[in-house]
C-alpha cells in the first residue's frame, strides 16, 4: 500500500478545469516533486492534499485513512509556503514551538524539541530572534523547523525556494534534501524550476494543463521524456518535425537519420524527434559516421564549463544547439561561419508521434 | 475511515449539499463551527440593526398616518409641497457650493504638506485637522459669535446675515475641510518620484508637470474627497439646525416633520429622498476606488520635494492663514464659553459651565456622551474587528459571507438622520420584542456603531489584508485552533489599526448628532444633543460651553490614544523594527 493515494482528483473553478482526474501514488519516505509551468495545477493539487482547497471530485487516502473530506485540522501534514508565513511578532523559538504548545507538551520537553529542531536546520542560536531579523534563507529554515516540529507524516513544500536569491537557493536545495533523507519524512514539493526538481526529487511528476504528463525519476524524466512537452520543459532541447521514411529511417528536412522506431510507425507518418544539446557529438566524427552532417556554426555562447553552439544543418530551417565541452572547444575551436561535422547518435534520438 | 458521511454531518446546516450533487465538501471542524456561529451572529446583528430599520423606512413611506398602504401618495404629496421641494434644491446647491469651496482649499493645503519644504508641517497638519474633534455644530455656534446679530465682526456683514445659507456654507467648509484634507494628503503622497525625474529630464515646465502628473495622480483622491464633502454636507443636521435660520434643508426637514409634526410618513419620504444623492455619490466613489487599485507599485520611489524659496513661502503663508482661521473658529466657541454676558460683559466667568450646565442639570448629558463613547470605542471595536477577521481569514459559510460583507459597507451610504429615523420606526412599536432597547443607552451605542461601521470595517480589513493569508493555513496544519492564532498573532499585529478604529469611534460618538437626535430619552441625553437643545432655547453660551467640553475631551482622548500607541509600539511591536 502506498503512503498517499490520489485518485480521480478533479478541480473546477467555474468553467475552468484546474485538475483533470489526477491519479498519483506517493511512496512512504520519498521526495516527490510536482513540476510544471504556472497554471498547470500543481499548487492546487498540493492545496487539495492539505485540505486548503476542496477537490470537485476524487479521493485521497493517506496512510490507509480516507482524508478526502477531512478539514485541514484533522489531516496529518506540515506545510511550508512560499511566503514562509512566519508569525512576525513571535520569536523564532515560539514560531517553532507553535504547534507543540497546543499539544500540551511539557515546557521542558518543548524547549528541548525546539532546540533540537533549530539545530537540525542549522540555526542553533537564533531562537530568541524575531523572523524579521533573519535572512530569507534563514526564515525558510525556521518555517521548515516549524512544520516538522509536530513530526507530521507528510511534509508539503509550496515553492519554498522561489523567493530566495540564486546562491541561497542552490545551497538550500541540498540542505532540504539532506534533511528529508535523514528524517525519512514523505515530502511533496511544488516547483516550476526543473533544476530544483531534478536535483532534489526521488520522483518527479510533470504536470501540464491540470493533467500529469509523466511520473518518473529525474533520470527517466530527463533521458526518456514521455511527451514532447516534458522533453521541452525539462532541460534544453532540440525538437524537430520529421517524417518516417523507412523501418529505422526518418527524414528531417533534407536530412536523413537513422533511429530506433517502435516498428509500428507507418511509412510517411509525421513524427517529432528530439535530442539534447549534449547529445551532439563532434569528436571522432567523419564523413562515414552514421547520422552525421555538416553544421554551419552561427553563434557561440561561453557558459563556463561548456559552450553552447547554435548551428544549422543543410536543409533544416530551424537552428539547433549543441553543448561542447571545454576540451572539444580547445580541439575544434569553432568560429561563427565555420563548418563543423556533427553526429547525432541514433540511440540518443527520441521520436514522438507528430 | 470511509467517505460515508458521519451521522453528525447530516444535521449540519452547512453540510446540506447532498453527496449525489457531485460537489465535494469538507467536513467542518468543530473549531470552524465556532467561527461560523460568530459570523452568523454578526450578520444577523447587522441585519437587525441596519437592514430592518432601513426597510421599515421604506414601508413607512408608503403608509398613511393610520398605517394603511397608500402607494406613492406620500411622495406625490411631497412633490406638491413647494416648501419641501425647495429643501431639495437648497440641500443640493449648498452641498455643491461647499464641495467647490472646500476641495481647492484642501488640495492646496495637502499640496503644501506633501510637495513643499515649508516648516512646521506636523503642527499645521494637526491644526487643520482640529475640526474633526468638534461636533459640526460648534462651527455654527462660533460663526454666530463672530458674525451673528451680536457678533464681534457683525459690522463687517453690512446688511447681510450670517444666518441661513452663508452661515451654513462657511460652517460646513470648516467641518468638512479635515476630511477632504486627509484623503488628499494620502492621494498626493502616493506618487512616484521617478515620473517627475523623467519629466525633468525631458525639460518639462512646472505647470505642465502639475497638470500632466500631479493632477492625474490625485484624480481619484479628488473625486473621493469631493464625494465625502458633498455627502457630509447634504446629510449634516447640526449646522443648518443652529445657523440655518429659516433656510431649510433635507436633514432639518426630517427632524421638523418627525419630531415637530409627528408626520412619520412624510419624514420617511424625505429620508428616502436624502438617501438618493448619498447613494449616488457612494456608488460613484466605490466605482472610482475600484479603478484606483494598483496606482503605486512596490518599486515606486517616494517623492522628496526640493527647496524652492518663493514657493515654500507662499505655501506656508497659505497654510498659516487657513490654520489661524480654523483656530479662530474653534477658539471663538471656547472663548465665548468663558464670557460672562455676551456681548455686554466680556469678563472671564465660569457661569456657562456652572450655572448653564451643572446647575441646569445638563451636565449628565456630558457623562452620557462619555459612556456612549466608551462603549462604542470598546465593544464596537471588538465587534467590528472580530467580524472583519472572520470575514477575511476564516473559511466556509461561503453563501453567507457576501451578505455580511455588504452589510459592513452599506452604512457608508446611509446618512445618520435616515438611520436614526429607521431606528424610531423599527424600535418604537411596542410589538417589536426589541422595543425595550428604545430610550436606553444601548440603542445609542448600537446606532452609533452602525453609523460609523464602514470606515472602521475598512480600516480593519486593510490591516488584516496586510497579514500573510497563510497564517490560518499554517495554524490548521499545526492543529492550532484559529482563535489561538487570532489572539497570539492577529490581534497583536493589528493592534495599531484596532486603536485607530477605537479612537475613531470614540471621537465620533462624542461629536455625532444626526442619528442619536431621534433616539435619546430624558435619561440618555447626549452632550451633542444638549447643544442643539440649548441653542434652540437661546442658551448659546452654555451651548458653547458644552461644545468646548466635547472638543477638549476628544483632544484629550486622542492624546491618550497617541501615548497608548507609543507605549504599545514599544511593548508589542518591537519585532517591526529590529
| Residues B24-83 pLDDT 10s | 788 899 999 999 999 999 999 999 999 999 999 999 999 887 778 888 888 998 889 888
Q: What is the per-residue pLDDT across B368-399, written as a single tens digit (0 to 9) for each?
A: 999 999 999 999 999 999 999 999 999 888 88
CA B507-B512-B513 angle, to 5 degrees, is 160
- Chain B partners of A75 at a C-beta cutoff of 8 Å? 477
B516 and B448 together in one domain: yes
User: Which is it for the CA torsion A137, A143, A149, A155, positive or negative?
Assistant: negative
Partner residue facing A130 (CB), from B22, B27, B578: B578
**Among B2, B470, B572, beta carbon nearest to A85:** B470
Q: How confident is the model at residue B293 (pLDDT cuts 50, 70, 90)?
A: low
Residue A188 near residue A46, CB atoms below 8 Å: yes
Q: Are residues B265 and B375 in the same domain?
A: no
pTM score of the predicted model: 0.88
From chain B, the residues in CB contact with A77 under 8 A are 477
Question: Of the candidates B314, B337, B360, which is a domain's last residue?
Answer: B337
Please tell me the predicted confidence (pLDDT) of residue B7: 38
Q: What percent of chain A has pLDDT over 70?
A: 99
Q: State pLDDT tens for residues B161-208.
A: 889 999 999 999 999 999 999 999 988 887 778 888 888 888 888 889
For the cut 50, the answer to whether the pLDDT of residue B21 exceeds it is no
Cβ of A146 within 8 Å of Cβ of B2? The answer is: no
> Where does the pLDDT of residue A22 fall: very low under 50, low under 70, confident under 90, or very high at 90 and above?
very high
Q: Is A128 on the interface with B (CB under 8 A)?
A: no
pLDDT for A279-288, tens place per residue?
999 988 888 8
Question: pLDDT tens for residues B534-561?
Answer: 999 989 999 999 999 999 999 999 999 9
The answer to whether residue B188 sits within a structural domain is yes
Contacts of B298 in chain A (CB under 8 A): none
From residue A15, how far is each of A8, A12, A19, A89, B91 by CA, in Å? 18, 7, 12, 41, 49
Averaged over A100-105, what is the pLDDT?
A: 80
Task: Please name the residue of chain B whose CA is at the shortest distance from the CA of residue A81.
Answer: B470
Burial class (CB in 10 A: 0-12, 13-18, 19+), B256: middle
Residue of B nearest to A146 (CA): B478
Residues A179-210 pLDDT 10s? 999 999 999 999 999 999 999 999 999 999 99
d(Cα A257, Cα B142) in Å, to the nearest integer?
98
- Which residue range is the domain that position B575 belongs to? 34-56+352-578
Mark out the alpha helices in B156-218 (DSSP H runs). Answer: 165-189, 193-201, 206-209, 215-217
pLDDT tens for B73-125 read 889 988 898 888 899 999 999 999 999 999 999 999 999 999 899 999 999 99
Would the pLDDT of B486 be above 50?
Answer: yes
Band (pLDDT 50/70/90 cuts) for residue B577 is: low
Q: What is the CATH number of the domain that holds B235?
A: 1.10.3720.10
From A59, which residue of chain B is nearest by alpha-carbon distance?
Answer: B3
- Does residue B431 sit at the A interface (CB-CB below 8 Å)? no
Question: Residues 21..60 of A with a Cβ closer than 8 Å to B: which?
Answer: 50-52, 54-59
pLDDT level of residue B300 (50, 70, 90 thresholds): low
Q: What is the pLDDT of residue B188?
A: 87
**Which residue from B minimizes the CA distance to A83?**
B468
Residues B492 and B139: their CA atoms lie apart, in Å, by 38
B312/B392 same-domain check: no
pLDDT above 60 for B294: no
Domain count along chain B: 2
Banded pLDDT at A146 (limits 50, 70, 90): very high
- Could you tell me if residue B22 is inside a domain? no
- In angstroms, rounded to a whole number, what is the distance separating the alpha carbons of residues B137 and B145? 13
A72 at the B interface (CB within 8 A)? yes
Q: In angstroms, how far apart are the furthest CA atoms of chain B?
A: 91
- Could A51 and B573 be called an inter-chain contact, meaning their C-beta atoms sit closer than 8 Å? no
Domains of chain A: 4-229 (3.40.50.300), 238-353 (2.40.50.100)
Q: What is the mean pLDDT of residues B503-524?
A: 93
Q: Tell me the pairing of strands A306-313 and A65-66.
A: unpaired
Q: By the CB < 8 Å criterion, does B197 face chain A? A: no
Are B115 and B241 in a shared domain? Answer: yes
pLDDT at B15 over 50: no
B72 occurs within a structural domain? no
CA–CA gap between residue B295 and residue B315 (Å, rounded): 27
Is pLDDT at B131 greater than 60 in this prediction? yes
Q: Chain-wide mean pLDDT for chain A?
A: 91
The pLDDT of residue B108 is 95
Question: Does B370 lie in the same domain as B326?
Answer: no
Sheet holding A238-246, edge to edge: A255-258, A249-252, A238-246, A270-275, A350-353
pLDDT confidence bin for A151, thresholds 50/70/90: very high
Rounded Cα–Cα distance for residues B212 and B198 (Å): 12
pLDDT grade, residue B23 (50/70/90)? low
Region of A126 please: left (phi>0), alpha (psi -120 to 50) or beta: alpha
Do B117 and B152 fall within a single domain?
A: yes
Instruction: Assess B28–A contact: CB distance below 8 Å, yes or no.
Output: yes
Say what the pLDDT of residue B570 is. 81
The per-residue b/e assignment along B279-290, b for 16 or more CB within 10 angstroms, e otherwise, is bebbeebeebee
Residue B62 lies in a domain: no
Task: List phi, psi (to 5°) of A57.
Answer: -155, 160
pLDDT at B154: 86
Peptide bond into A57 cis (omega under 30): no
Helix (H/G/I), strand (E/B), else coil: B135: coil
Indicate yes or no: CB of A89 within 8 angstroms of CB of B470: no
Q: Above 70 in pLDDT, residue A291?
A: yes
Q: Say how many CA atoms lie within 13 Å of B164 toward its Cβ.
A: 6
Q: Is A78 on the interface with B (CB under 8 A)?
A: yes
Predicted confidence (pLDDT) at residue B480 exceeds the cutoff of 50: yes
Burial of B10 (0-12, 13-18, 19+ CB in 10 A): exposed
pLDDT for residue A350 is more than 90: no
For A73-82, letters b (16+ CB in 10 Å) and e give bbbbbbbbbb
What local confidence, expressed as pLDDT, does residue B210 receive? Answer: 87
Q: Angle A280-A284-A290 (CA atoms, 0-180°, nearest 5)?
A: 65
Q: Is B574 on the interface with A (CB under 8 A)?
A: yes
Task: Give, in order, the Cα–Cα distances in Å from A242 to each of A228, A229, A342.
Answer: 13, 17, 19
Q: How much is the average pLDDT of A271-292?
A: 89
Give the per-residue pLDDT at B292: 62
Distance CA A210, CA B247 (A): 68
pLDDT band at A264 (very low <50, low <70, confident <90, very high): low
Residues B577 and B470 occupy one common structural domain: yes
Q: How many residues does chain A have?
A: 354
By Cβ distance, the residue of B3, B28, B493 closest to A88 is B493
The predicted structure's pLDDT at residue B17: 39
Specify if B25 maps to a domain.
Answer: no
Minimum distance, in Å, between the CA of residue B396 and any CA atom of chain A: 11
Residues of A in contact with B471 (CB under 8 A): 85, 87
Q: Is B470 on the interface with A (CB under 8 A)?
A: yes
The answer to whether the Cβ–Cβ distance between B24 and A88 falls below 8 Å is no
Residue B212 within a domain: yes
Instruction: Please report residues of A whose CB lies closer than 8 A to that of B29.
Output: 71-74
pLDDT over 90 percentage in chain B: 61
The reply to whether residue A66 touches residue B484, judged by beta carbons under 8 angstroms, is no
Q: Residues A36, A42: contact at Cβ < 8 Å? A: yes
Together in a domain, B366 and B332: no
Task: Tell me the β-bridge partners of A188.
Answer: A32, A156
Last residue of a domain, one of B312, B337, B362: B337
- Read off the pLDDT of residues B135-153 as tens digits, 9 standing for 90 and up: 999 999 999 999 988 888 8
Q: B265 and B220 in one domain? A: yes
ipTM surpasses 0.90: no
C-alpha closest to that of B532 among B260, B168, B180, B137: B137
pLDDT digits (tens, 9 = 90+) for A207-227: 999 999 999 999 999 998 999
pLDDT band of A263, cuts 50, 70, 90: low
Q: Which residues face A214 on adjacent strands?
A: A206
Q: Is the CB of B484 inside 8 Å of chain A's CB atoms?
A: yes
Which grid cell is A335? 568560429
Please give the residue that has the higher pLDDT: either B307 or B321.
Answer: B321
Give the mean model confidence (pLDDT) for residues B313-332: 94
User: Does residue B221 sit in the same domain as residue B359?
Assistant: no
Q: Please tell me the number of Cα atoms within 13 Å of A120 on its side-chain side.
A: 23
Residue B578's SS3 state is coil
CA angle B86, B91, B93 (to 5 degrees): 95
Please indicate, yes or no, if residue B5 is contained in any of the structural domains.
no
Lookup: cell for B495: 493592534
pLDDT at B497: 92
Query: Which sign does the torsion angle of CA B353, B356, B359, B364 carry?
Result: negative
Contact flag A57-B31 (C-beta cutoff 8 Å): no
- B396 shares a domain with B310: no
- Which grid coordinates belong to A323? 553543448
B573, pLDDT greater than 70: no
Q: Are A42 and A207 in contact (CB under 8 A)?
A: yes
Same domain, B252 and B147: yes
Residue B517, in any domain of the structure? yes
- Reading the block at residue A284, the C-alpha cell is 571522432
Residues 143-162 of A with CB under 8 A from B: 146-147, 149-150, 152, 156
HEC string for chain A: CCCEEEEEEEEEECCEEEEEEEEEEECCCCEEEEECCCCCCHHHHHHHHHCCCCCCEEEEEECCEECCCCCHHHCCCEEECCCCCCCCCCCHHHHHHHHHHCCCCCHHHHHHHHHHHHHHCCCCCCCCCCHHHCCHHHHHHHHHHHHHCCCCCEEEEECCCCCCCHHHHHHHHHHHHHHHHHHCCEEEEEECCHHHHHHHCCEEEEEECCEEEEEECHHHHHHCCCCHHHHHHCCCCEEEEEEEEECCEEEECCEEEECCCCCCCCCCCEEEEEECHHHCECCCCCCCCCCEEEEEEEEEEECCCEEEEEEEECCCCCCEEEEEEHHHHHHHCCCCCCEEEEECCHHHCEEEEC
Q: For residues B414 and B408, what is the distance between their CA atoms, to the nearest angstrom?
A: 12
Q: Does A66 touch chain B (CB under 8 A)?
A: yes
Work out the angle at residue B448's Cα, subtended by the Cα atoms of residues B525 and B181, and round it to the nearest 5 degrees: 110
Please tell me the predicted confidence (pLDDT) of residue B535: 92
The CA distance from A112 to A123, in Å, is: 14
User: Measured between alpha carbons, how far is residue B182 from residues B113, B189, B229 in Å?
Assistant: 11, 11, 12
**B489 neighbourhood in chain A, CB within 8 Å:** 87-90
Amino acid at each position: 500500500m502506498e503512503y498517499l493515494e490520489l485518485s480521480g482528483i478533479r478541480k473546477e473553478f467555474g468553467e475552468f478545469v484546474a485538475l483533470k482526474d489526477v491519479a498519483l501514488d506517493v511512496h512512504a519516505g520519498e521526495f516527490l516533486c510536482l513540476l510544471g509551468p504556472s497554471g498547470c495545477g500543481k499548487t492546487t493539487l498540493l492545496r487539495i492534499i492539505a485540505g486548503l482547497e476542496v477537490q470537485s471530485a476524487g479521493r485521497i487516502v493517506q496512510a490507509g485513512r480516507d482524508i478526502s473530506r477531512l478539514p485541514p485540522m484533522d489531516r496529518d501534514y506540515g506545510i511550508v509556503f512560499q511566503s514562509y508565513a512566519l508569525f512576525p511578532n513571535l520569536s523564532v523559538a515560539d514560531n517553532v514551538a507553535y504547534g507543540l504548545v497546543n499539544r500540551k507538551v511539557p515546557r521542558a520537553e518543548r524547549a528541548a524539541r525546539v532546540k533540537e529542531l533549530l539545530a537540525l536546520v542549522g540555526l542553533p542560536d537564533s531562537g530568541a530572534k524575531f523572523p524579521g531579523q533573519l535572512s530569507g534563507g534563514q526564515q525558510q529554515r525556521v518555517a521548515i523547523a516549524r512544520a516538522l516540529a509536530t513530526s507530521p507524516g507528510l511534509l508539503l513544500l509550496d515553492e519554498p525556494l522561489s523567493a530566495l536569491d540564486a546562491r541561497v537557493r542552490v545551497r538550500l536545495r541540498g540542505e532540504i534534501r539532506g534533511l528529508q533523507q535523514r528524517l525519512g519524512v514523505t515530502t511533496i514539493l511544488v516547483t516550476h524550476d526543473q533544476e530544483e526538481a531534478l536535483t532534489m526529487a526521488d520522483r518527479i511528476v510533470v504536470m501540464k494543463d491540470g493533467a500529469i504528463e509523466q511520473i518518473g525519476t529525474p533520470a527517466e524524466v530527463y533521458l526518456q521524456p514521455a511527451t514532447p512537452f516534458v522533453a521541452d520543459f525539462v532541460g534544453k532541447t532540440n525538437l524537430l518535425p520529421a517524417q518516417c521514411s523507412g523501418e529505422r529511417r526518418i527524414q528531417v528536412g533534407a536530412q536523413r537519420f537513422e533511429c530506433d522506431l517502435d516498428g509500428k510507425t507507418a511509412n510517411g507518418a509525421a513524427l517529432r524527434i528530439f535530442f539534447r544539446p549534449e547529445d551532439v557529438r563532434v569528436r571522432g566524427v567523419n564523413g562515414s559516421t552514421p547520422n552525421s552532417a555538416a553544421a554551419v556554426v552561427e553563434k557561440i555562447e561561453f557558459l563556463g564549463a561548456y559552450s553552447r553552439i547554435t548551428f544549422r544543418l543543410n536543409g533544416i530551417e530551424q537552428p539547433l544547439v549543441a553543448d561542447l565541452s571545454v576540451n572539444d572547444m580547445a580541439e575544434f575551436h569553432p568560429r561563427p561561419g565555420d563548418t563543423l561535422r556533427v553526429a547525432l547518435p541514433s540511440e540518443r534520438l527520441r521520436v514522438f508521434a507528430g | 475511515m470511509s467517505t460515508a458521511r458521519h451521522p453528525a454531518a447530516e444535521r449540519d446546516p452547512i453540510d446540506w449539499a447532498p453527496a449525489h450533487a457531485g460537489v465535494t465538501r469538507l467536513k467542518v471542524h468543530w473549531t470552524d463551527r465556532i467561527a461560523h456561529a460568530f459570523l452568523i451572529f454578526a450578520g444577523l446583528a447587522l441585519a437587525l440593526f441596519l437592514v430592518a430599520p432601513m426597510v421599515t423606512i421604506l414601508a413607512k413611506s408608503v403608509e398613511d398616518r393610520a398605517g394603511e398602504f397608500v402607494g406613492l401618495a406620500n411622495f406625490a404629496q411631497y412633490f406638491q409641497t413647494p416648501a419641501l421641494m425647495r429643501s431639495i434644491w437648497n440641500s443640493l446647491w449648498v452641498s455643491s457650493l461647499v464641495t467647490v469651496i472646500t476641495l481647492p482649499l484642501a488640495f492646496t493645503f495637502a499640496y503644501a504638506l506633501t510637495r513643499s519644504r515649508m516648516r512646521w508641517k506636523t503642527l499645521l497638519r494637526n491644526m487643520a485637522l482640529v475640526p474633526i474633534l468638534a461636533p459640526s455644530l460648534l462651527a455654527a455656534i462660533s460663526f454666530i459669535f463672530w458674525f451673528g446679530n451680536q457678533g464681534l465682526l457683525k459690522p463687517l456683514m453690512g446688511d447681510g446675515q450670517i444666518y441661513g445659507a452663508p452661515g451654513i456654507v462657511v460652517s460646513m467648509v470648516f467641518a468638512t475641510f479635515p476630511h477632504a484634507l486627509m484623503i488628499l494628503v494620502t492621494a498626493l503622497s502616493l506618487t512616484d518620484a521617478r515620473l517627475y525625474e523623467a519629466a525633468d529630464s525631458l525639460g518639462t515646465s512646472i505647470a505642465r508637470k502639475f497638470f500632466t502628473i500631479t493632477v492625474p495622480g490625485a484624480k481619484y483622491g479628488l473625486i473621493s474627497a469631493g464625494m465625502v464633502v458633498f455627502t457630509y454636507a447634504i446629510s449634516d443636521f447640526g449646522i443648518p439646525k443652529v445657523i440655518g435660520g429659516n433656510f431649510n434643508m433635507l436633514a432639518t426637514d426630517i427632524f421638523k416633520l418627525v419630531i415637530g409634526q409627528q408626520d412619520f410618513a412624510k419624514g420617511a419620504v424625505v429620508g428616502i429622498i436624502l438617501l438618493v444623492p448619498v447613494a449616488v455619490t457612494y456608488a460613484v466613489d466605490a466605482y472610482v476606488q475600484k479603478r484606483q487599485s494598483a496606482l503605486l507599485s512596490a518599486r515606486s520611489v517616494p517623492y522628496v520635494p526640493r527647496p524652492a524659496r518663493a514657493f515654500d513661502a507662499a505655501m506656508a503663508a497659505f497654510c498659516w492663514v487657513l490654520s489661524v482661521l480654523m483656530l479662530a473658529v474653534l477658539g471663538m466657541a471656547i472663548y465665548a464659553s468663558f464670557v460672562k454676558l455676551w456681548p455686554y460683559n466680556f469678563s472671564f466667568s465660569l457661569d456657562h459651565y456652572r450655572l448653564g450646565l451643572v446647575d441646569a442639570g445638563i451636565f449628565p448629558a456630558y457623562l452620557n456622551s462619555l459612556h456612549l463613547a466608551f462603549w462604542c470605542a470598546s465593544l464596537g471595536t471588538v465587534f467590528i474587528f472580530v467580524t472583519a477577521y472572520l470575514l477575511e481569514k476564516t473559511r466556509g459559510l461561503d453563501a453567507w459571507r457576501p451578505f455580511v460583507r455588504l452589510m459592513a459597507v452599506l452604512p457608508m451610504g446611509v446618512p445618520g438622520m435616515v438611520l436614526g429615523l429607521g431606528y424610531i420606526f423599527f424600535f418604537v412599536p411596542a410589538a417589536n420584542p426589541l422595543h425595550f432597547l428604545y430610550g436606553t443607552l444601548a440603542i445609542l451605542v448600537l446606532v452609533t456603531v452602525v453609523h460609523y461601521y464602514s470606515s472602521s470595517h475598512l480600516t480593519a480589513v486593510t490591516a488584516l489584508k496586510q497579514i500573510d493569508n497563510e497564517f490560518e493555513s499554517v495554524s490548521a496544519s499545526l492543529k492550532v485552533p484559529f482563535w489561538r492564532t487570532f489572539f497570539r498573532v492577529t490581534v497583536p499585529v493589528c493592534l495599531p489599526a484596532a486603536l485607530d478604529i477605537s479612537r475613531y469611534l470614540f471621537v465620533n460618538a462624542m461629536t455625532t448628532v444626526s442619528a442619536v437626535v431621534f433616539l435619546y430619552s430624558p435619561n440618555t441625553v447626549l452632550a451633542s444633543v444638549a447643544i442643539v437643545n440649548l441653542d434652540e432655547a437661546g442658551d448659546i453660551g452654555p451651548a458653547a460651553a458644552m461644545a468646548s467640553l466635547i472638543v477638549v475631551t476628544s483632544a484629550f482622548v486622542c492624546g491618550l490614544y497617541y501615548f497608548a500607541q507609543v507605549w504599545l509600539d514599544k511593548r508589542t511591536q518591537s519585532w517591526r523594527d529590529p
